[in-house]
C-alpha cells in the first residue's frame, strides 16, 4: 500500500488501531525498557504486517514512508503507548546499509533484521570517549580477510539481548582523530567478546559494557570505505537527536504532574499554578521547536548543527518537570513504583530517576552546547 498517499489523520488512526489490536495492554506505556523476550511477539506482529521498518523502501521490506510520514508514524506509536523495540537494526543500521552498504550486505542483513533473527546494538561510546566519539580507542587491525578488534564499549543499550553489534573502531592512528575511524559489524556470539550488564539507578540492567579481546569479523563487514566511518556515522546522529528531542516524554510527564496536582487538591495554590504554567509554556515551546525541525526532515533535507538545541531543550525540560514533581510530592517521592494516593496511584520517583540519564545519552548537554557555540554561533570552544 502507498501509505504516503493516506492523509495523516487516517494514518494515525490506523497505527492506533493496530497497536490496540496487536500490542498487549500490559506492554503499553512501560516504565522501563522491555526485554526482547517480552516484546518479541509484538516485533513479529509488526514485521508480519510489513509495518516494522517505516523508513525502509518497500523493496527491502519496509513501508516506504517519506520523511514527513515517518515522523507521523513515530509520533502515532508514541501516543499509542507502544513499547520501544530493540530497534537499533531498524532505525539505525538498516537505513545505513540501504544508503552506504553493498548489495551483498543488504541482501544478507536486512531480512534477518526484519525477522528478529539478528538483534543489533550500537558500539559507539567508550570510557573517556562518550559524547566525544572522535577520541575512541577501540582498534581494528586487518589480518588477511578479517579485522581483529580490541578495546571496550560502554553504555551499550540492548547488548544483553543483541546478537550483533555495529561499532566505530580506529583503523588508522596516524591521521587526524576523525579521519582514522571505520564502521564495522560484528557477531557477538564468538570467542573474545564479553558483555557485562550495567545496573541503572532504577535497578534495571538497560546498558552494558562490551569487551573485545582479539574478536574477529570479515572485512566484508566494513560499511563504507576504510577510515571513512566518521562520515558514515554522522548520517545517524541528526536523526538520533530529533528522536531524543520528541516532545512526547515531556508531554506525558507534565500530564502526570497535572493529575497529581488535582489528586492532591493543589490546583488553587498560586505557587503550584505558577510553576505548572511555566512548564506548560516550556512544553509548548518544545513542540514548536520540534515542529520546525520536523519540517526540515519532511522535506528530505539534512539536519544542521542547530538540531542540538532540540536535544538540550527536550531533555532538560523533562528533568525540570521531574524535579518539581519530586519537590511538590514530598514523602510520596521516596518510594519507587505505584503508591496508593487519593483513591488512585502515583509514581513520582521512577520518572525522576529515569530522567537523570536524559541529558547524557545521545550526546551530553555539554557537548550539544559546544556544537551550538562552535557551529551555529561561531564562538571559540
Phi and psi of 135, rounded to 5°? -95, 10
> Which residues are bridge partners to 211 per DSSP?
152, 194
Phi and psi of 230, rounded to 5°? -65, -40
| Cβ–Cβ under 8 Å, residues 157 and 34 | no
Which one of the listed residues 240, 301, 316, 366 is annotated catalytic? 240
Through-space distance between the first and last CA atoms of the chain, rounded to whole angstroms: 49
Residues 6 or more apart whose Cβ sits within 8 Å of residue 74: 54, 243, 246
Q: Are strands 139-143 and 146-153 parallel, antiparallel or unpaired?
A: antiparallel
Q: Is 240 a catalytic residue?
A: yes
Phi and psi of 269, rounded to 5°? -80, 120
Name the residue among 86, 59, 95, 89 with its Cα closest to residue 232.
95
CA gap 381, 378 in Å, rounded? 9
CA gap 55, 46 in Å, rounded? 14
User: Active-site positions?
Assistant: 240
Amino acid at each position: 500500500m502507498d501509505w504516503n498517499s493516506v492523509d495523516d489523520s487516517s494514518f494515525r488512526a490506523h497505527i492506533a488501531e493496530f497497536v490496540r489490536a496487536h500490542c498487549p495492554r500490559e506492554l503499553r506505556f512501560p516504565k522501563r525498557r522491555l526485554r526482547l523476550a517480552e516484546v518479541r511477539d509484538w516485533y513479529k506482529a509488526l514485521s508480519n504486517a510489513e509495518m516494522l521498518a517505516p523508513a525502509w523502501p518497500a523493496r527491502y521490506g519496509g513501508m516506504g514512508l517519506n520523511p514527513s510520514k515517518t515522523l507521523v508514524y513515530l509520533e502515532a506509536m508514541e501516543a499509542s503507548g507502544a513499547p520501544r523495540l530493540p530497534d537499533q537494526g531498524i532505525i539505525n543500521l538498516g537505513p545505513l546499509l540501504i544508503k552506504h552498504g553493498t548489495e551483498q550486505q543488504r541482501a544478507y542483513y536486512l531480512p534477518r533484521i526484519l525477522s528478529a533473527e539478528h538483534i543489533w546494538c550500537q558500539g559507539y561510546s567508550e570510557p573517556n570517549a562518550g559524547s566525544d566519539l572522535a577520541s575512541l580507542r577501540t582498534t581494528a587491525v586487518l589480518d588477511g580477510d578479517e579485522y581483529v578488534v580490541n578495546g571496550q564499549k560502554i553504555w551499550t543499550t540492548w547488548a544483553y539481548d543483541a546478537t550483533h553489534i555495529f561499532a566505530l573502531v580506529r583503523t588508522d592512528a596516524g591521521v587526524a582523530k576523525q579521519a582514522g575511524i571505520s564502521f564495522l559489524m560484528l557477531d557477538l556470539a564468538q570467542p573474545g567478546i564479553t558483555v557485562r550488564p550495567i545496573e541503572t539507578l532504577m535497578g534495571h540492567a538497560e546498558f552494558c559494557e562490551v569487551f573485545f579481546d582479539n574478536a574477529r569479523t570479515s572485512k566484508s563487514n566494513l560499511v563504507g570505505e576504510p577510515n571513512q566511518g566518521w562520515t558514515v556515522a554522522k548520517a545517524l546522529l541528526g536523526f538520533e537527536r530529533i528522536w531524543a528531542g520528541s516532545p512526547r516524554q515531556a508531554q506525558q510527564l507534565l500530564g502526570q504532574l497535572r493529575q497529581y496536582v488535582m489528586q492532591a487538591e493543589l490546583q488553587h495554590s498560586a505557587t503550584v499554578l505558577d510553576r505548572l504554567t511555566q512548564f506548560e509554556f516550556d512544553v509548548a515551546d518544545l513542540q514548536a521547536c520540534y515542529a520546525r525541525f520536523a519540517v526540515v526532515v519532511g522535506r528530505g533535507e539534512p539536519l544542521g548543527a542547530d538540531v542540538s538545541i532540540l536535544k538540550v531543550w527536550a531533555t532538560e525540560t523533562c528533568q525540570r518537570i521531574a524535579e518539581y514533581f519530586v519537590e511538590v510530592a514530598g514523602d510520596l517521592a521516596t518510594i519507587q513504583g505505584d503508591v496508593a494516593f487519593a483513591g488512585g496511584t502515583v509514581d513520582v520517583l521512577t520518572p525522576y530517576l529515569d530522567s537523570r540519564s536524559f541529558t547524557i545519552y545521545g550526546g551530553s548537554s555539554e557537548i550539544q552546547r559546544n556544537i551550538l557555540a562552535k557551529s551555529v554561533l561561531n564562538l571559540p570552544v
